[in-house]
């Protein structure tokens, strides 16, 4: 047991408490954002320091401190940083009371996600998941207006159902294997004879229920019903956070659970691989088709995130089909998540800038944005191009990488469906671009943006371009992260 | 270290686009001059490369002015540029049209910084396609072109511009979606992204894992949309007609050549066996394209749409030349790509000028303009005659080589018959070109066109450049055919040609 390896998490928890306490004493609430960012930075520094050393696990193998976990911790910290940048103005305008709680909850949910990326035990998985979810339920309802409250309640109820399903699945798996630790579960499964595995419906049922429970987190169809309403009702920075970090955390935990516990024998992993392939097809197709008629940009991005989860599941299918030594599928999913995080954060930051001025999230109100806020419109255009998956943006490289992994495992049919879906998605993403650059401006008034928002926008746009043009370095990092060890 | 000519040519327009878009403010004259400079230098460099290109027989199939750096290590992708006899003339064509497109756009005053920015980026991406020797780089360049094109058509276009722009994008993305699947399959069946390595020795590997025919078809769909091949051509008339003049010039002149180039470079070169198997179908589609395109052209009443449809017909010759699979026919197809680029470029420029000056685009209302536009009518006639393949123009050389080469190639069954059918297309072309000239320029002068102006000095300059190139290639075709031969030789060699 080595508490030093737990320092990033401890730091973040401490800063969350500090933010709440400070809130009682200071008038200038913007300071809270600064303190939160400092907390994120300190936690990031500690995490970076651990990179590259493959430490063993801590807390009796409940938490892993491998490169995979560290990569995701840094991803969540960076996302939380961008979310806080995007929140500063939004919160001070729309959330008059409980600003301290807002930032503290962001930090707490980040903490939960960091734990999610590291947990290697069914029990700690559940605890981490709930820590994240409960913070997010509160954040979604933070505006306290009708839509926000409805969104929060919906999210809570459906989330509770998903948790119950997950718990049931965990109970079944524990019942069959007698273990909660992922590596030990893997050992127990490999010790069973092939017929033994097929003869225990409880185990297979457990695996399916785990997919369902986690599927809620990543908005995989058919567990996506909450997405459009919650995305529309939640405060926009929280929507961004949900669409990026919460999804990434879901994929992190899915990758670890399925790779570590159910990665062997090969035919078993192929079975869940095919489930993910089917979910990918349905998710991409329905997400993209449902996005076409949307008139609200937040709902549009909500459906788009369902479709993006579909592309990510193409990667999961590739992981299922590939032998354990082949890391391309895993590093593809990791790289995709990083590029998707930057892209979606950029898009939502632009949405926040525009909605701060217009008080509207309707796409038709974006008319003439190319004149009123050229740089914001340019950044949003870049992010939408990245979401389509066109070069020179990060989204293209991410898709290329993840589809490469799938083609390598002879999933060409799945890739063809995915690329056709990208074409469908171009239609509705470009509709937003069209309105911004071709539409007449409703007024000539410029759209102002604060420094914090501008920094967030510039950072994510540069990130999107860099990952699109010279992705080699981040791909290498993703490869290192993908070499997680099963235990 | 050698000077990286190709990178310079490739990225100067992009640098220019950045400067024009972000650093010039709204100063329209400065933007235009800078755009002209940033397209002229690549043109000058391309001419220099063309002159210093090694034309000796020993250089057949060799890539010159090569640059290669490791780009994305985990994918083993390289930043790999180079030109051979096939791609160098197309690079030259693109830089030439890029420069002329800036001159043609001189009168654009609507949002000039965005316009010239996108125009320069468009040139970069087309150049990138012709120069790339790495599949990933090739595909990226292929895709980038869509974005400038979308904005150029939908903002500065005319008519149903947004519909046409969206249609263009969806068609193109649809094609490139299959192409991406093809590129990925190629990558994993050969283990390489290098176009040179795959075409030189990857074939054995291709057939071992995935059927080569499937990859060939996936790639072919992407190229067929772009060329375009009947029945995937319906985006072309809309996009060409509604695009602004200079963009039509780039689109018809350089951009659709990416399709033909891709077919030769990837489909035919990498999969000779499959190409031979499917050649008959493609030749038939080519002939349908030639005849159908020409017939539809005759029926058009819109001046610009007429030129646009003629491209469908002319690109049929390119497809015929490529899939006749003979050495001469492929040189002819390449010549046709170059010649069509210049000739149709000039035709679009002239049509734009007539439409701009006379404010009328309906052929039924035009007439008798020869009196008001003495210069334009001469140049238009030259371009029209080049388009129908009159000797001493580039069009004649190209079509002659395609027909002679295809007729004699003897690889595809009954190719002689198909070639003869294709020749009928020339007669139809002569018909609609002469009819168009007659309807627009001759006949009694009309009162309403009395004050209509002729070409001004700047317009005369680019007309002269176009005409000189058409005549030069027509009178001394060896200047190009010698180069194309070097590029085609190893490919035709696969079929014993």
Q: Binning pLDDT at 50, 70 and 90, where does residue A359 land?
A: confident
Beta strand B77-83 with B64-72 is antiparallel
Distance CA A173, CA A192 (A): 13
Using a CB-CB distance cutoff of 8 angstroms, which residues of chain B are in contact with residue A385? 147
pLDDT above 80 (res A53): no
| A419/B177 touch (CB, cutoff 8 Å), yes or no | yes
- pLDDT at residue number B12: 94
Of B79, B177, B221, B235, which to mutate for an interface test with A (greatest number of A Cβ within 10 Å)? B177
Which residues lie across from B134 on neighbouring strands?
B194
Residue B451 CA to chain centroid, in angstroms?
36
- Please report the DSSP string for B336-359 in residue order: HHHHHHHHHHHHHHHHHHHHHHH-
pLDDT at A271: 86
Q: Where are the domains of chain A?
A: 263-487
Q: Identify the sign of the CA torsion A461, A464, A469, A475.
A: positive
Q: How far apart are CA A456 and CA A450, in angstroms?
A: 10
Q: Give the model confidence (pLDDT) of B343-391 as tens digits.
A: 999 999 999 988 888 888 888 888 888 888 888 899 999 999 999 888 8
Average pLDDT estimate for B54-62: 81
Instruction: Find out whether B255 and B171 touch, Cβ atoms under 8 Å.
Output: no
Average pLDDT value for chain A: 89
The answer, yes or no, to whether residue B247 has pLDDT greater than 90, is: yes
Cβ contacts of B71 on chain A, cutoff 8 Å: 470, 472
Question: pTM of the entire structure?
Answer: 0.92
Write down the pLDDT at residue B294.
Answer: 92
Instruction: Identify which of A403, A407, A476 has the shortest CB distance to residue B73.
Output: A476
Assess whether pLDDT exceeds 70 at residue B29. Answer: yes
Q: What average pLDDT does range B289-306 have in this prediction?
A: 90
Distance (Å, rounded) from C-alpha B364 to C-alpha B300?
A: 10
* pLDDT band, residue A55 (cuts 50/70/90): low
For residues A36-51, give the mean pLDDT: 91
**Mean pLDDT taken over chain B:** 89
C-alpha distance from residue B424 to each of B229, B290, B419 (Å)? 18, 9, 9
Task: State the Cα–Cα distance between residues B474 and B333, nearest whole angstrom.
Answer: 15
pLDDT at A337: 94
Binary contact (A404, B73; C-beta < 8 A): no
Disruptive mutation site among B173, B179, B186 for chain A (greatest number of A CBs within 10 Å): B173
What is the distance between the alpha carbons of residues A317 and A319, in angstroms, rounded to a whole number?
5
Closest Cα partner for B41 from B87, B98, B93?
B98
Percent above pLDDT 90 for chain B? 50
Q: Which of B180, B209, B219 to mutate to test the interface with A (most CBs of A within 10 A)?
A: B180
Q: Give residue B441's pLDDT.
A: 87
Determine the average pLDDT of the residues in A452-458: 91
Mean pLDDT of A227-245: 91
Q: What's the confidence (pLDDT) of residue B202? A: 60
Helix boundaries (H) for A292-327: 297-321
pLDDT at A25 over 80: yes
Q: Do A407 and B185 touch (CB under 8 A)?
A: yes
Mean pLDDT over residues A22-46, rounded?
90
- How does pLDDT run across A367-407, given as a tens digit for each residue? 888 888 888 999 999 999 999 998 889 999 999 999 989 98
Q: How far is B175 from chain A (nearest CA, A)?
A: 9
Structure confidence at residue A153 (pLDDT): 93
Burial (Cβ within 10 Å: 0-12, 13-18, ≥19) of residue B445: middle
The model's pLDDT over A98-122, given as tens digits with 9 standing for 90+, comes to 888 899 999 999 999 999 998 989 9
Joined tokens for residue A396? 């293209």
Write out chain A residues lying below 8 Å of B73, CB-based. 472, 475-476
Residues of chain B with Cβ-Cβ distance to A415 below 8 Å are 181, 184
Whether residue B78 contacts residue B69, with contact meaning beta carbons closer than 8 Å, is answered with: yes
Q: Which of chain A's residues have a Cβ under 8 Å away from the Cβ of B180?
A: 400, 403, 419
Residues A73-78, mean pLDDT to the nearest whole number: 94
* pLDDT tens-digit series, residues B172-204: 999 999 999 999 888 888 878 888 888 877 655
Does the pLDDT of residue A144 top 80, yes or no? yes
How confident is the model over B467-493, as a mean pLDDT?
90
pLDDT for residue B306 is more than 80: yes
- Is B136's Cβ below 8 Å from some Cβ in A? yes
Query: Closest Cα of chain B to A328: distance in Å?
Result: 9
Q: Could you tell me if B67 lies within 8 Å of chain A, comparing CB atoms?
A: no
B68, β-bridge pairs: B80
Considering only CB atoms, which chain A residues are within 8 Å of B173?
A: 388, 390, 422-423, 426
Residue % of chain A over a pLDDT of 90: 52
Question: In which band, very low, low, confident or very high, does the pLDDT at A485 lie, cut at 50, 70 and 90?
Answer: low
Q: How far does the CA of residue A17 sit from the closest CA of chain B (Å)?
A: 42
Residue B100, burial from CB neighbour count under 10 angstroms (0-12, 13-18, 19+): buried
Which of A419, A405, A246, A215 shows the shortest CA–CA distance to A320? A405
Residues B48, B45: Cα–Cα separation, whole Å? 5
From residue B139, how far is each of A458, B193, B203, B222, B256 by CA, in Å? 27, 11, 20, 11, 15
Domain ranges of chain B: 278-497
Residues in chain A within 8 Å Cβ distance of B188 = 404, 407-408
Which of B143, B166, B174 is opposite residue A391, by nearest beta carbon?
B143
Q: Which of B72, B154, B173 sits opposite A472 (nearest CB)?
A: B72
Across the range A205-230, mean pLDDT stands at 88
The pLDDT tens digits of the residues spanning A166-191 come to: 999 999 999 988 888 888 888 888 88
**Residue B220 in contact with residue B228, Cβ under 8 Å?**
no
Q: Is B184 on the interface with A (CB under 8 A)?
A: yes
pLDDT in tens, B89-101: 999 999 999 999 9
Q: Is B74 on the interface with A (CB under 8 A)?
A: yes
> What is the reported pLDDT for B330?
92
pLDDT at A453 over 60: yes
For B170, name the nearest residue in chain A, comparing CA atoms only: A423
| Per-residue model confidence (pLDDT) at position B389 | 87
B204-226 pLDDT per residue, tens = 555 455 788 888 999 999 999 99
Taking only the tens place, the pLDDT of each residue in B79-122 is 999 998 899 999 999 999 999 999 999 888 888 888 999 999 99
A471 contacts B72? CB cut-off 8 A:
yes
Kindly determine whether residue A437 and residue B151, on different chains, have CB atoms separated by under 8 Å.
Answer: yes
The answer to whether residue B313 neighbours chain A at the CB level (below 8 Å) is no
Please give the residue of chain A at the shortest CA–CA distance from B218. Answer: A416
Looking at residue B203, what is its pLDDT?
Answer: 56
Question: What ipTM was estimated for this complex?
Answer: 0.90
CB pair distance less than 8 Å for A426 and B169: yes
pLDDT for B362 equals 87
């Amino acid at each position: 047991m080595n508490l030093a390896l737990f320092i990033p998490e401890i730091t973040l928890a401490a800063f969350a408490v500090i933010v709440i306490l400070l809130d009682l004493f200071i008038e200038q609430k913007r300071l809270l954002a600064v303190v939160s960012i400092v907390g994120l930075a300190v936690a990031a520094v500690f995490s970076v320091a651990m990179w590259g050393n493959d430490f063993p696990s801590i807390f009796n193998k409940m938490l892993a401190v491998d490169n995979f976990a560290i990569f995701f911790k840094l991803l969540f910290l960076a996302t939380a940083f961008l979310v806080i940048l995007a929140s500063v103005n939004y919160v001070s305008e729309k959330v008059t009371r409980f600003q301290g709680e807002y930032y503290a909850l962001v930090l707490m949910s980040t903490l939960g996600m960091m734990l999610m990326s590291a947990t290697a035990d069914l029990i700690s998985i559940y605890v981490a998941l709930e820590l994240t979810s409960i913070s997010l339920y509160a954040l979604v309802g933070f505006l306290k207006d009708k839509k926000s409250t409805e969104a929060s309640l919906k999210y809570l109820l459906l989330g509770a159902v998903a948790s119950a399903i997950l718990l049931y699945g965990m109970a079944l798996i524990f019942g069959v294997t007698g273990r909660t630790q992922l590596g030990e579960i893997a050992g127990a499964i490999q010790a069973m004879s092939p017929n033994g595995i097929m003869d225990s419906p409880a185990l297979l049922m457990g695996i399916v229920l785990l997919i369902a429970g986690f599927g809620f987190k990543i908005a995989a169809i058919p567990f996506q019903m909450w997405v459009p309403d919650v995305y529309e009702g939640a405060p926009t920075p929280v929507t961004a956070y949900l669409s990026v970090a919460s999804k990434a955390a879901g994929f992190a935990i899915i990758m670890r659970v399925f790779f570590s516990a159910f990665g062997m024998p090969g035919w078993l992993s192929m079975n869940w691989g095919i489930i993910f392939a089917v979910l990918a097809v349905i998710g991409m197709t329905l997400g993209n088709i449902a996005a076409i008629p949307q008139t609200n940009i937040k709902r549009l991005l909500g459906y788009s995130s369902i479709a993006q989860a579909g592309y990510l599941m193409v990667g999961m299918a590739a992981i299922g089909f590939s032998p354990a030594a082949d890391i391309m599928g895993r590093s593809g999913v990791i790289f995709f998540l990083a590029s998707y995080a930057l892209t979606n954060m950029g898009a939502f930051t632009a949405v926040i800038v525009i909605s701060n001025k217009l008080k509207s999230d309707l796409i038709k109100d974006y008319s003439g944005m190319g004149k009123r806020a050229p740089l914001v419109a340019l950044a949003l255009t870049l992010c939408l191009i990245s979401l389509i998956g066109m070069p020179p943006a990060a989204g293209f490289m991410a898709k290329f990488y993840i589809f490469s992994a799938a083609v390598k495992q002879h999933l060409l049919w799945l890739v063809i469906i995915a690329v056709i879906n990208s074409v469908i998605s171009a239609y509705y993403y470009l509709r937003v671009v069209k309105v911004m650059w071709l539409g007449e401006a409703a007024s000539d008034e410029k759209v102002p943006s604060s420094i914090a928002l501008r920094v967030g926008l510039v950072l994510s746009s540069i990130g999107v371009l860099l990952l699109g043009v010279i992705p080699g370095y981040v791909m290498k990092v993703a490869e290192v992260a993908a070499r997680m060890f099963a235990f | 270290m050698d000077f990286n000519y190709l990178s310079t040519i490739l990225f100067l327009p992009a640098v220019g686009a950045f400067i024009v878009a972000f650093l010039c403010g709204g100063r329209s004259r400065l933007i235009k001059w800078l755009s002209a400079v940033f397209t002229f230098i690549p043109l000058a460099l391309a001419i220099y490369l063309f002159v210093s290109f090694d034309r000796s027989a020993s250089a057949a199939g060799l890539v010159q002015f090569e640059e290669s750096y490791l780009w994305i290590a985990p994918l083993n992708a390289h930043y790999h540029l180079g030109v051979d006899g096939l791609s160098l003339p197309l690079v030259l064509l693109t830089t030439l049209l890029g420069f002329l497109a800036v001159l043609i756009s001189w009168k654009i005053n609507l949002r000039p910084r965005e316009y010239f920015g996108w125009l320069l980026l468009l040139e970069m991406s087309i150049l990138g396609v012709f120069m790339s020797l790495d599949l990933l780089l090739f595909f990226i360049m292929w895709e980038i072109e869509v974005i400038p094109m979308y904005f150029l058509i939908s903002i500065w276009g005319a008519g149903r511009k947004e519909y046409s722009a969206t249609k263009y994008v969806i068609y193109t993305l649809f094609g490139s979606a299959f192409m991406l699947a093809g590129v990925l399959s190629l990558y994993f069946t050969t283990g390489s992204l290098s176009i040179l390595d795959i075409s030189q020795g990857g074939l054995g590997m291709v057939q071992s894992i995935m059927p080569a025919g499937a990859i060939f078809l996936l790639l072919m769909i992407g190229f067929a949309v772009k060329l375009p091949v009947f029945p995937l051509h319906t985006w072309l008339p809309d996009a060409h007609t509604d695009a602004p003049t200079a963009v039509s010039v780039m689109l018809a002149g350089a951009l659709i050549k990416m399709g033909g180039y891709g077919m030769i470079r990837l489909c035919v070169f990498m999969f000779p066996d499959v190409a031979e198997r499917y050649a008959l179908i493609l030749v038939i589609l080519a002939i349908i394209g030639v005849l159908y395109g020409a017939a539809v052209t005759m029926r058009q009443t819109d001046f610009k749409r007429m030129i646009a449809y003629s491209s469908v017909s002319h690109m049929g010759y390119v497809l015929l030349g490529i899939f006749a699979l003979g050495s001469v026919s492929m040189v002819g197809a390449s010549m046709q790509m170059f010649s069509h680029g210049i000739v149709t470029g000039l035709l679009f420029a002239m049509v734009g000028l007539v439409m701009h000056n006379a404010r009328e685009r309906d052929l039924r209302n035009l007439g008798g303009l020869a009196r008001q536009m003495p210069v334009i009518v001469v140049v238009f006639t030259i371009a029209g005659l080049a388009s129908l393949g009159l000797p001493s123009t580039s069009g004649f050389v190209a079509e002659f080589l395609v027909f002679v080469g295809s007729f004699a190639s003897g690889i595809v069954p009954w190719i002689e018959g198909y070639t003869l059918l294709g020749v009928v297309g020339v007669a139809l072309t002569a018909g609609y070109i002469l009819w168009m000239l007659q309807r627009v320029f001759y006949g009694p002068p009309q009162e309403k066109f009395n004050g209509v102006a002729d070409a001004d000095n700047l317009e005369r300059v680019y007309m002269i450049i176009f005409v000189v190139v058409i005549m030069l290639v027509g009178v001394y075709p060896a200047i190009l055919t010698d180069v194309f031969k070097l590029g085609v030789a190893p490919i035709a060699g696969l079929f014993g040609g």
